[in-house]
């Protein structure tokens, strides 16, 4: 897992992060495919594997922070870069003393050095947004915000890759500023605003992409700093409705990577430019 490796080498290698983790938190590592017995905070007994399934862990690393009352105060799905991770530690450490929600706190931390505008894409639908319209294609809602470095990375390094665009263009795609008061019709038909809709879905990190099926049910979300291979895999997983047969995205992605390697392709999970290649040249698999 290169994202787990990045958590260790990029985040925990920072002295201030390591000191906070060691001094302020009790740490428990769980192998999501392991068979060791785990007693969850609520007192129920699981194996590592069944606990991960019960918690609907789709990405590694996934971190859950509990307070002294054994309540989850923060959940991080996927890898968060060091600055965002520092903010998460501060938020989790303060627990009940926090005002507002984590998404607001993180937005204020991450404003420096980013594009002050939303990043456009040719496949985004124009406003006003009616997410309830009948369409055979799955719906992808991109929750973003201005001054968001990870949003810039998604657009400038990931969505520009033909492997990702080939999947994105098969969907209805809508970009929403999570702090906007612009009107939105939600997938179930109720009238709301972008800000309220983001809060209803508990969006805490940008960019987050929430995927809905044609009847308006959420089937998947991408809410971490993912690179090209994982991003195309998530879009492909939704487009092909693979979740109906394989509920574990991690198993799906591993099988996909192995299949492509058997075809003679090189798979690099961590590369922005060459996630799938042959003889040093990018390959687009439709």
Residue-wise pLDDT for 35-54, tens only, equals 999 877 677 889 999 999 99
Kindly write down the DSSP assignment for every residue of 186-226, as one continuous string: -TTS-EEEHHHHHHHTT--SSSEEEEE-TTS-EEEEE-S--
Distances (CA, A) of 280 to 230, 266, 276: 20, 9, 9
**Could you tell me the pLDDT band of residue 66, with boundaries at 50, 70 and 90?**
confident
The structure tokens listed for 112 are: 């420096």
Q: Where are the domains of the chain?
A: 2-99, 129-282
Res 56 pLDDT > 60: yes
Q: Which residues contact 118 (CB under 8 A, 6 or more apart)?
A: 144, 145, 146, 151, 175, 177
Average of per-residue pLDDT values in the chain: 92
Q: Give the single-character DSSP code of 120.
A: P
Q: Which sign, positive or negative, has the C-alpha torsion 101, 107, 109, 110?
A: positive
Give the Å distances, CA to CA, from 171 to 70, 101, 143, 251, 283: 40, 30, 16, 23, 21
Domain 2-99 has CATH 3.40.30.10: yes
The predicted pLDDT at position 103 comes to 87
CATH fold match for the domains 2-99 and 129-282 = yes
**pLDDT digit string, tens, across residues 174-207:** 999 999 999 999 999 999 999 999 999 999 899 9
**pLDDT higher for 144 or 42?**
144
pLDDT in tens, 12-38: 999 999 999 999 999 989 999 999 998
* CATH fold of the domain at 129-282: Glutaredoxin (3.40.30)
Which pTM does this prediction carry? Answer: 0.84
Per-residue confidence at 134, pLDDT binned at 50, 70, 90? Answer: confident
Q: Which element (helix H / strand E) includes 261?
A: helix 249-262
For the chain, counts of helices (H) and of strands (E):
10, 14
């Amino acid at each position: 897992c290169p994202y787990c490796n990045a958590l260790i080498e990029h985040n925990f290698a920072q002295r201030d992060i390591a000191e906070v983790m060691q001094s302020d938190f009790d740490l428990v590592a769980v192998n999501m495919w392991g068979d060791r017995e785990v007693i969850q905070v609520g007192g129920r007994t699981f194996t590592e594997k069944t606990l991960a399934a019960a918690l609907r862990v789709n990405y590694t690393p996934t971190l859950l922070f509990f307070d002294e009352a054994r309540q989850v105060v923060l959940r991080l799905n996927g890898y968060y870069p060091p600055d965002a991770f520092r903010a998460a530690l501060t938020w989790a450490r303060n627990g009940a003393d926090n005002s507002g929600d984590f998404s607001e706190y993180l937005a204020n931390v991450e404003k420096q050095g980013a594009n002050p505008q939303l990043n456009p894409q040719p496949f985004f639908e124009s406003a006003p947004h009616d997410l309830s319209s009948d369409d055979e294609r799955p719906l992808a809602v991109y929750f973003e915000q201005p001054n968001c470095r990870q949003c810039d990375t998604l657009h400038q390094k990931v969505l520009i890759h033909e492997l990702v665009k080939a999947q994105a263009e098969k969907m209805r795609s809508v970009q929403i500023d999570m702090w906007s008061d612009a009107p939105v019709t939600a997938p179930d038909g109720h009238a709301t605003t972008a800000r309220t809709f983001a809060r209803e879905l508990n969006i805490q990190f940008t960019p987050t992409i929430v995927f809905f099926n044609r009847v308006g049910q959420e089937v998947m979300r991408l809410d971490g700093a993912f690179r090209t291979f994982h991003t195309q895999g998530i879009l492909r997983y939704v487009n092909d409705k693979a979740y109906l047969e394989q509920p574990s995205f991690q198993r799906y992605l591993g099988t996909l990577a192995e299949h492509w390697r058997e075809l003679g392709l090189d798979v690099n999970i961590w590369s922005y430019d060459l996630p799938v290649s042959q003889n040093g040249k990018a390959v687009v698999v439709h």
